[in-house]
Amino acid sequence: MNPNYFILNVALLAVGLATGCATEYNIESDHKKVFTDHLVLESKNGQYKEKPGDAEWTETTSRIVAVGCRPEAPAVTAWGGRTDITATGIEGTDGYFRLGRVGRRWVFVDPEGGVNIIRGTQNVAYPESSRFASADDWAAETADLLLTYGFNHADFTGVRPQYQLNARNARILNPAEGRKNSHSVALNMLRSFMWDDARNLSWTYDDTDNNMNRLNLIFEERYETYLDEKTREICAQVADDPYMLGYQLDNELGFRGWDYRYGNQDVLLHKFLALPEAAAARQYAETFVVEKGLNRAEVMTVTKTADVVRLGLSDAYDEFRSRVAEKYYKQYHDVIRKYDPNHLIFGSRLHSNGKYDKQTLQACAKYCDVVTINYYGVWTPEADFLEEFRSWTGDRPFFVTEFYVKGEDANYDGTPYNNLSGGGWVVPSQIARGDFYQNFCLGLLEADNCAGWTYFAYDDAFTSTADNNSNRGLVSAKFYPWLGFLEGVGRLNRNVYAIMDRFDK
């Protein structure tokens, strides 16, 4: 382990334990639990840029946990779930991760029955870097880092699910005696089918065409066979795994775009009708047009949202998108439940406008235990949206599968990161990154339908490609911890249950 990292980490913990939290803003928990120490939240001014090249910084304010605040924590299970309270309305299979409620709040219930808020990161894998003498050395240091900064979940890297399973590391999953981390598996079957078998269709699917949507493929019989066979293979490896949190489906599919223009970003009736005649999705759309009594020629004149409104087609477009989404989520639900009755089913990491779309959210919540979103483009989670989200999903829980922020001060051997890639905003420093993490996660915890999150990602991206350098990670491209950032991360993660009680008063 980097000795500087270890020394500073111990110092930070010592300060937190010794300082206490006494100010006029002290707020006690009302749960009558064994820990009654106070939690202090404070405001801190900051700045961000939505794009690295922006000339001006945008002023913002963050809520953070006061420096040195370290309320006594409740007793926890090996999985980091609290044992001082009990969840009700539990859903799922005993011995595996389940869902439950504490009052109105959604929580995970871990295999030992602990009330659990998941705090994770992703893309964890041995880098085969000269920085480490061996994979064991890497795993030992990384396990310590995750445990020290309050994480209890780690997703392993790889687009294909088998890569993720091959990257699983026993030390990461068991960071210390009596402590465990969960993980999940992203199936990504639609993307894999596109690579493996779409070329064998009787029509040409081209993923580089902005009029082609991957969801076009779910109507193909070849895809349904592929989905069944490949999911069965993965389920056979994890169906009995108590470390498994659940199955993520795909990533950032084109359910809903911004202006009804591009078929790869949106489920658009006119784009489905424009597919080759041999495409099963085209046949499905043709049947829908006849069923709804629509004028096909009129539908084919649509080029933007205003056309849909002008032609009175809004309800038809919404219904068509809803049906496609329902088919997608039901396919996955049925095949997973066919081969694994034990684990939770997560959503498809909805992004951009898709996560704000009522029809897509309703379909996801109907067939998934947890709705998952990649949440970018805001400094603080939008309270009004999250209440709409609650209504549209029938009060199902959600889980944030991606969010991050980049520091302008990051460099690689003296070369500054350009931070051009990815969706995270830019802040001036690593300390400011920690402020963002705290503010964002406080907003998620305040929305009591959020049961946890995974931060993207474990490591930075830094390559010779100019537009792929991003200070997104817990650790640098050389796998040294960003200590200024992690101090803020740990302050939030370690206090998560005191914060939960603060908001549940």
| Mean per-residue pLDDT, 313-327 | 98
- The residues, ordered by sequence, that sit 6+ positions from 24 with a Cβ below 8 Å of its Cβ are none
Long-range contacts of 28-33 (CB under 8 A, 24+ apart): 29/498, 29/501, 29/502, 29/505, 30/501, 30/504, 30/505, 31/84, 31/85, 31/501, 31/504, 33/74, 33/84, 33/85, 33/501
Quick check: pTM over 0.75? Answer: yes
Residue 266 has pLDDT above 70, yes or no: yes
What pLDDT, in 10s, does the model give residues 88-129?
Answer: 999 999 999 999 999 999 999 999 999 999 999 999 999 988
Say if residues 194 and 166 touch (Cβ distance below 8 Å).
Answer: no
- Per-residue pLDDT, 184: 98
Report the pLDDT averaged over residues 463-478. Answer: 86
Please compute the mean of the pLDDT values over residues 301-305 and round it to a whole number. Answer: 95
User: Is the pLDDT assigned to residue 38 strictly greater than 90?
Assistant: no
pLDDT of amino acid 68: 82
H-helix or E-strand spanning residue 118: strand 118-124
Strand-strand pairing, 41-48 and 58-65: antiparallel
| C-alpha–C-alpha distance, residues 442 and 448, integer Å | 11
Identify the bridge partners of residue 121 per DSSP, sorted by sequence position. 154, 455
Question: Could you tell me if 96 and 343 are in contact, meaning their C-beta atoms sit under 8 angstroms apart?
Answer: yes
Each residue's pLDDT tens digit, 418-458: 999 888 999 999 999 999 999 999 999 999 999 999 999 99
Average pLDDT over residues 164-185: 98
pLDDT tens for 245-257 read: 999 999 999 999 9
pLDDT confidence band for 228 (50 / 70 / 90): very high
What integer is the mean pLDDT of 15-20? 36
Poorest-pLDDT segment among 6-10, 165-169, 177-181, 490-494: 6-10
Q: Average pLDDT, whole number, for the chain?
A: 92
Strand partners, 99: 91, 108
Q: In the chain, count of helices (H) and strands (E)?
A: 16, 18
Q: What is the DSSP letter of 405?
A: E
pLDDT for 167: 97
- pLDDT band for 72, please (50, 70, 90 cuts): confident
Whether residue 493 has pLDDT greater than 70 = yes
Q: Give the model's confidence band at 37: pLDDT under 50 very low, under 70 low, under 90 confident, else very high.
A: low
On the question of pLDDT at 71 being above 90, the answer is no
Q: 209-220 burial, b for 16+ CB within 10 Å, e for fewer?
A: eeebbbbbbbbb
Handedness of CA 12, 483, 42, 73 (dihedral sign): negative
Q: What percent of the chain has pLDDT over 70?
A: 92
Residues 217 and 9: their CA atoms lie apart, in Å, by 49
Give the CA distances from residue 445 to residues 99, 243, 284, 385, 441, in Å, rounded to whole numbers and listed in that order: 16, 23, 41, 14, 6
C-beta of residue 359 within 8 angstroms of C-beta of residue 322: yes
What pLDDT is stored for residue 29 in this prediction? 30
Percent of the chain with pLDDT strictly greater than 90? 85
| Res. 73 pLDDT band, cuts 50 70 90 | confident
Give the distance from CA 161 to its chain's centroid: 16
H or E segment to which residue 228 belongs: helix 221-238
